[in-house]
Structure 1
C-alpha cells in the first residue's frame, strides 16, 4: 500500500549557541565539531579590513585622515574640483579624492571578503549535509512514501523540546532507577497546562502506534514481513525450486483445505507406522524400529535429542570435526527443578491442565472413551518418570555434564535399552556411523535413567497390549504435526499454554507459515533475499559504521595500558563483511538440490512431511559443510577473524537503498553500532574510565531535565546501567559520525517529510528506538532522550532542545 507523504515544513536553520561552553572533559569526535560561529568570523574580518586600510596610506597621513573623515562627513558630496582654486585648494581636493577612493576600495574589499566567507560557509554546509530542507530533493520512491507515512506518526523532538523526554514508546515497564515508578510520571513535574498537552500527545501517539506497530516490533518481525512479501510476489527467480518454496508457503496459508482434511492425514500416518493401541488397532511394532523412523523421517525425538556440532574443547586447537550430540528431550509435561533434592519433578499445579491436554488429544484422534483414561494415565506416568532425571542447563554446566565424550559402544553399555548404533545409523542415513565413533553427551545421568525407565515399561507384561511406549511416541509425533493439522489441535495447545500462564497472543498465520517454510527451504529463501539486497549500499554503511567505531575507541580513557592494547589488537585484527552471494547456491544448484521434492497445492500435510525430511537432510549436511549464516539472523556474529553481517539486517523498514542516507544511518546504523559494541566489548566497563564518566554525565542530564535531582527516586546507576547508557549514547555518536563520513565522500542527500540531514537523522533515530531492545532492562531512560543530551551543547541540531523552565540545563557539561 502506498501513502502520500505529508507536505514539507520549512526547516529552521541552525542557530549558534549564545552560551559560552565550559571546558569539556570528553570531546566529541572531530567530525561532530562545526566551524566557528559567524560572530567570531565577522570580528576577524573587521580586524583584517582595518589593517588593510591603514596599510594603504603613509604613516604620517593616517591620523590626519582619521580626524578628517570623522570631523567632516557631510562635506564629501560638495568636494568637486574647481579650476579657480589655488594650490591649497587643489591639495585639499586631492586629499579628499584619495579618501573617497580609499573608502570605495575598502567597501569593495569588505564585500569580496563577505562573499568569500558566505561561499565558504555554503561549501561547508554542503559538505556536512546541514542544509535547508528546501534545497534538497525529496525522496518519492514507494519505500520512501511508506517511510514518510510512518514518520508522520512520530513526534518531532524539535517541535516539542520540553515534552519530548516524557514519551515512553508506549512501554509500561518501570525504570530501574526510579524506585519502581513509571517513566511517564515525569509529567507531574511540569506545569498543569503543559502536562495536559503532554498527556494528549502521549495518548494520540499511543493510538497512532497501535495503528502502525511495524517499527515497534523487533528486527526479526521486520525480516519475516519482508520474506512474506518475497514469497507472495511474482517477481525475481521463477525456477522450479523457488516455485516449490512458494507453493509450500501458500499451501500453509490454505486453511480451508487444512480444516477440511481434519485429523485424517495423521491417522493415516499412524497406520503406516503400524497403528497404535489407543485406536484398538496395533500390530505391536518393534520399539527401536519405530523410534528410528520417527527420528529419520519425522524429526521427532521423544526420548532424547540429536544434533550435530563441534567439540568446544577442540576448537581452540583448530579442529573442525563434527560430532553427534545427544541431549535430553523437550518433554511435553511441564517440570520444575527442586534445588533441595537436585531433581526435576512434574509441577503439581500443571498436572490438571496436562491431563486435560492428553484427554483432548486422544479424543481428537478418535480413541474409544472406554480406554482413553487408561492410556492417558500411562502417558502421564511415563512422562513423570522421564522428567525426574532431566536437569536445567545451569545445573548441568555446574556439574560438568556437558560434552561428555564416549564411543557408541560405551554408550550402549551405559544405556542398553536403546539400540544406539541402529538408531543413529537410521537417523543420520546415509552418513556412515560405526561402533567406534565418538558421541558427545549433555546429560549422561538422564540417558542412563531413561534407559532404565524404558526397560521397566517394556518388561511390564500386563501392559504389553496397551503399548505404553508406543502411545508415548505417537503423542510426541502428534505434537510435531500439530502445525499441519486443523485448528482444533492448535487451539488445544493454545488452551494448555494459557493454563500454564502464557498470555502471549497468537502469531498471525502468515508469520507461522514463513517460519515453517524457512525450516526446509532456507537455502531458497536465502537466494531470494540475496537477489533483493542492495549489496553496495549495505557494505558502505557497514564499513563506515565500523570505521567510526574504531575511531571512537581512540577517544576512550583506559584504566591501564594492558587493557587498551588487548582491546585495540582484538579490534584491529577483525574484518567486517557481508554474508554475500559467494556462499549462496545458484538457482541451477537449488533446482538440482530440490529436484526430488514435490509440493501439492492443497495438501499441506503431505508437504509438511517432506519439510521434516528436508530438515533431516539439512542436519546431515553439517557433518561435511560449514554451517552458513542463519537466514533469520538479524545481528552480526564472529566467524574467525571476521565480523559477519547477515543479509537479514538490511530490510525495510529499517533500511532501504532509496531512503535518505540520514534515515539509513540513524535507524540501521545506530542499531549496527549497538550490536558491534555489545559483541566486541561485552565488559568494557571494567577496562575504560570513559564508560562511567559518560554514564554519569548522561544521567545528570536526565535528572536535571526531569527535575529529579535530589529526590528519593533518583538513585545512582549500577555498573550495568552505566555501561548500557554509554553503549546507547556511543552508538548514536558513532552513527552520526559515520553519516558525516558518508556525506564527505558523496555530498548531498535527499529529504523525507520535509526533514533533511541532521533533522531527519535525529527524528528517525527517535522513531526506531521505540523498537524492542534486548538490553532495554539495563537502560534507565528512553533511548530517544539521548537526543537532548547530544543537542544540549551542540550546534548540529536544527533548534535547541533546552526548555525555558529548566534553568540548570545549560550549565551541564557535554557528554
Structure 2
C-alpha cells in the first residue's frame, strides 16, 4: 500500500498541484479563461516593448545625420552640383554633376579652393613666425600684387632685357650678336627655348641617374591642326594682330613690326611642319634616341650644343661624350638646316624671332597692356573654335601660382600646417591601410592570377612606400634660407621674377646631382593629383587632394571611402597594370585575363557619348580597369568597415542611405566637362568614368533599386579584379 501511494504521488518535482486542482468545475473554467487573458496581455506587452526597443536601437545605432559645419558644407556642395530630377539609374553623372549653367568640375574646384587657402596665408604673414628665407616668399608675392608699381614701370624693364640681348631691328638700335651667344643667354638666363626644349629627368633604366632630354618645342603660338583648317586664316590673322601689338607696345615702328611679325609666323610654320605626331614616332620605333653631345653636334650643327647646355644646366659638368636622350632626331636635323639657311640671309629676322618669343613668354610678368593682349588672343582663338570663354583669372591667383613655383618649400610648410595637421594625416593613413588590405584580399581571389605572380604582387605591396601631405624636406624650415640665398628681389618685378626663375633652375639641377634619400615629388603639396612612381615604388597623396569635399575626418565614412578611398585603390592598382599588358603575365591564365579585358573594352564601347567626337578606347583601357577596380575595392573596404564598426553617419536632407552616399561621393570626384576629348588622353570622358564602373557594380543597382536592363543595371558585367 505504501508503494501504491508513492507511485500515485509521482516524483518529488511534480508533487505540487495546479492552482485550480480540487476546485469545482465552474471555478476551473473561470481560472482557465483568466489565464488566457493574462497570457494575451503578456504577449502584447512583450511585442510593444520590443517595438519600443527596436525604435530606440534604430534611432541610436542606425545612420545618424551629420550636422557639423564640415558636413553641412559638404551637403551644400552636393546639392549645388547635382540634378536630382534625373533618374540615377539612367544618368547618374547628371544626377551628381549637372548644374544649371553646365557641369561641375570637382578637381578644378578643389584646385581653386587650395589656391584660395594659400592666398589667405600669403595675405596674413604676421600670423606666422617667419625666418629670413621665408620672408622672400612674402616679399615676392607682395611685389607681384603691387600692380601700381608694375604699371608705372611699363615696358621699361623688358626693354632693358632686350638691350642686354643685343636689341632688335624693329625698335631702336640693335647689335648683330653671335647667334649661339643669344640662344645661350635665352636658355640659361631667361628660361626661353625658341627652337627645342631641354630639361633634366631621371634616366628610364636603373639606377635612374639624371639625364638631359631634348624634345620638340611647345609652340605657344597655336598653329594649324586638321580640325582647324576652315578657320586657319582667321587664326593666323589673330596671331598676327597679337604680335603686332607686342611690337608696338615696345615702341616699334608699325611698318617694321608688321614685317617682323609676319616673318615670325612664317618661320614658326616652317618649324611646325617638321613635327611628327607621337603615334608616327612610335610606329617607326623612333620615340627616344640616346646620343652623345658630339653626335648631336654633327647631326644638327647650327646649335652649339655643349655651350648652350652647359650654361643651362650649371653646375653639371658636361663634355662632348655626355649622353643625351632625344625625342625626335629628324626634327632637330631639319630645324638646324633651316636655321643655318636663314642665318645667311635673315640674321636680323632670326634675332627678332627669338626676342618676340621671349616677350610672349614674359608677358605675364609685365604690365596690364601686355597681359591684356595675351588674354584677348586666347579669347579670340577660343571663340573661333567655338569653345566657352576663359573664366576670369584674378591677379591674386597668378601671384599665388608664381610664389608657389619659386618658393614651394615655404608654401608647403604653411599649407600643411594649416590644412593637413596630424589628426587629418592619421585618419588618411588609416583609410589607406584599410584600402590596402582590401587590395590584398582582391588579389588573392583573382581567377586569372597564378600563385607565383600572386606571391610577387603581395611582395610588391609589402615593399611599397606611401607619402602623404608634403615632401619631408619641405617641412624643414632651416632649408629655406639656403634654398633662396641666391634670389635678388628688385629693382622691378620683372627682375625679381627672372632672379627667382634662375634660382629655381639652379636648385633643380643641384637637387638632381645630390644623392636623394627619398622620392622626388613631381607635383606641389597643395596639388590634387595622386600618382604612383614606378622607379621609386612609392605612391604619393598630396595634402591638397585629401581635403573637403574628397576627405575629412569628420565626414561620414561613406564619403571618405567613396571619394578618397577609390582614388587610393586606383593608385595601388597601377602597380599591377603591367600584368594587363600583352605578355605582361606569362604565368597567368591568359585566356581568362584576355576575355576579361575584351569584355571591359566592349562594356565601355557600348556607351554613347552625345555631343562628343569619338575617342580611342584602346588608349583608355588601363585607366578604365583602374576605375572599375578602384571602385570595387573601395566598396569592399567600406562594407567591411561598417560591418565591424557601428555609428555610421549620413548627410541630413539628402535622402541617401550610407551606401548610396558612397556611390554619390565616388561620382563626385569624376565630375568634369565632357565636351572635348584629346585622342591621346589615357582617361575616358568624365561621364564614362562614372557610368562605366557603376554599371559594372551590382551593389549600385541594388542600393538604388535600378530596374533590370537600365543603363546602370545591365544584363552582363565584366570580372577583371
Name the TM tier (shorter chain).
0.7 to 0.9
Q: 1:661 aligns with which of 546, 557, 561?
A: 557
Q: Deviations over 1:696-745 (max 9, x none)?
A: 99999x99xxxxxxxxxxxxx98999988776555444333323444567
Q: 2:279 aligns with which of 383, 394, 397?
A: 394
Q: CA deviation at 1:320?
A: 2.6
1:502-581 aligned within 5 A: 502=385, 503-507=387-391, 508-509=393-394, 510-531=396-417, 532-533=419-420, 534-558=424-448, 561=450, 565=454, 568-569=457-458, 572=461, 575=464, 577-579=466-468, 581=471
The yes-or-no answer on 1:637 pairing with 2:522 is no
Q: CA deviation at 1:481?
A: 0.3
* Contact 1:296/1:613, CA 8 A, preserved across alignment: yes
* Contact 2:93/2:687, CA 8 A, preserved across alignment: no
The yes-or-no answer on 1:320 pairing with 2:208 is yes
Alpha-carbon distance in structure 1 between the residues aligned to 2:689 and 2:466:
33
1:163-312 aligned within 5 A: 163-165=87-89, 206-207=99-100, 213=104, 215=106, 217=108, 220-234=111-125, 235=127, 238-312=130-204
Aligned residue number for residue 381 of structure 2:
499
1:103-114 aligned within 5 A: none
Aligned residue number for residue 149 of structure 1:
76
Q: CA deviation at 1:586?
A: 0.7
CA pair 452-154 structure 1, distance change in 2 beyond 3 A: closer
* Contact 1:405/1:440, CA 8 A, preserved across alignment: yes
With 387-396 and 719-728 compared, the bigger mean Cα shift is at 719-728
Consecutive unaligned residues of structure 1, counting only runs of 5 or more, are 1-57, 63-78, 82-86, 172-200, 339-345, 704-716
* Contact 1:637/1:645, CA 8 A, preserved across alignment: no
Alpha-carbon distance in structure 1 between the residues aligned to 2:713 and 2:326:
62
SS of aligned partner of 1:366 = coil
CA pair 289-692 structure 1, distance change in 2 beyond 3 A: closer
* Contact 2:530/2:571, CA 8 A, preserved across alignment: yes
CA pair 215-348 structure 1, distance change in 2 beyond 3 A: closer
SS of aligned partner of 1:282 = coil
Aligned residue number for residue 74 of structure 1:
none
Q: Deviations over 1:195-226 (max 9, x none)?
A: xxxxxx99xx733x76x956474654454444
Q: CA deviation at 1:642?
A: 3.1
SS of aligned partner of 2:513 = coil
Q: CA deviation at 1:651?
A: 2.1
* Contact 1:523/1:585, CA 8 A, preserved across alignment: yes
Q: CA deviation at 1:650?
A: 0.9
The yes-or-no answer on 1:605 pairing with 2:501 is no
SS of aligned partner of 1:307 = strand
Consecutive unaligned residues of structure 2, counting only runs of 5 or more, are 1-9, 582-591, 609-615, 675-682
CA pair 109-732 structure 1, distance change in 2 beyond 3 A: farther
* Contact 1:729/1:786, CA 8 A, preserved across alignment: no
Q: CA deviation at 1:617?
A: 1.6
* Contact 1:670/1:735, CA 8 A, preserved across alignment: yes
Q: CA deviation at 1:145?
A: 3.7
SS of aligned partner of 1:436 = coil
* Contact 1:139/1:750, CA 8 A, preserved across alignment: no
SS of aligned partner of 2:274 = coil
CA pair 231-781 structure 1, distance change in 2 beyond 3 A: same
Aligned residue number for residue 685 of structure 2:
776
Aligned residue number for residue 425 of structure 1:
310
Aligned residue number for residue 670 of structure 1:
566
With 640-649 and 347-356 compared, the bigger mean Cα shift is at 347-356
Q: CA deviation at 1:473?
A: 1.4
Q: CA deviation at 1:231?
A: 3.6
* Contact 2:695/2:713, CA 8 A, preserved across alignment: no
Q: CA deviation at 1:592?
A: 2.7
Give the length in aligned residue pairs.
Answer: 657
Q: CA deviation at 1:89?
A: 4.6
Aligned residue number for residue 468 of structure 1:
349
Aligned residue number for residue 748 of structure 1:
647
Q: CA deviation at 1:483?
A: 1.0
Q: 2:68 aligns with which of 109, 125, 140?
A: 140
Alpha-carbon distance in structure 2 between the residues aligned to 1:690 and 1:638:
26
Alpha-carbon distance in structure 1 between the residues aligned to 2:577 and 2:55:
39
* Contact 1:636/1:646, CA 8 A, preserved across alignment: no
SS of aligned partner of 1:325 = strand
* Contact 2:201/2:211, CA 8 A, preserved across alignment: yes
* Contact 1:297/1:616, CA 8 A, preserved across alignment: no
Aligned residue number for residue 477 of structure 2:
587
Alpha-carbon distance in structure 2 between the residues aligned to 1:257 and 1:417:
41
* Contact 1:217/1:772, CA 8 A, preserved across alignment: no
CA RMSD of aligned residues (A): 5.1
Alpha-carbon distance in structure 1 between the residues aligned to 2:173 and 2:397:
38
Q: TM-score, normalised by structure 2?
A: 0.75
Aligned residue number for residue 481 of structure 1:
362
With 241-250 and 532-541 compared, the bigger mean Cα shift is at 241-250
Alpha-carbon distance in structure 1 between the residues aligned to 2:624 and 2:165:
58
Q: CA deviation at 1:563?
A: 9.7
Alpha-carbon distance in structure 1 between the residues aligned to 2:381 and 2:711:
53
Alpha-carbon distance in structure 1 between the residues aligned to 2:110 and 2:281:
32
Aligned residue number for residue 801 of structure 1:
705
Q: CA deviation at 1:299?
A: 0.4
**Greater relative contact order (Cα 8 A, min sep 6): structure 1 or 2?**
1
With 636-645 and 217-226 compared, the bigger mean Cα shift is at 217-226
Aligned residue number for residue 589 of structure 2:
none
Q: Deviations over 1:449-477 (max 9, x none)?
A: 333333333333xx55xx22221211111
Q: TM-score, normalised by structure 1?
A: 0.67
Q: Deviations over 1:152-194 (max 9, x none)?
A: 436697xx7x8334556559xxxxxxxxxxxxxxxxxxxxxxx
Alpha-carbon distance in structure 2 between the residues aligned to 1:436 and 1:812:
62
Q: CA deviation at 1:539?
A: 1.0
1:683-722 aligned within 5 A: 684=580, 687=593
Aligned residue number for residue 322 of structure 2:
437
Q: CA deviation at 1:267?
A: 1.2
With 407-416 and 605-614 compared, the bigger mean Cα shift is at 407-416
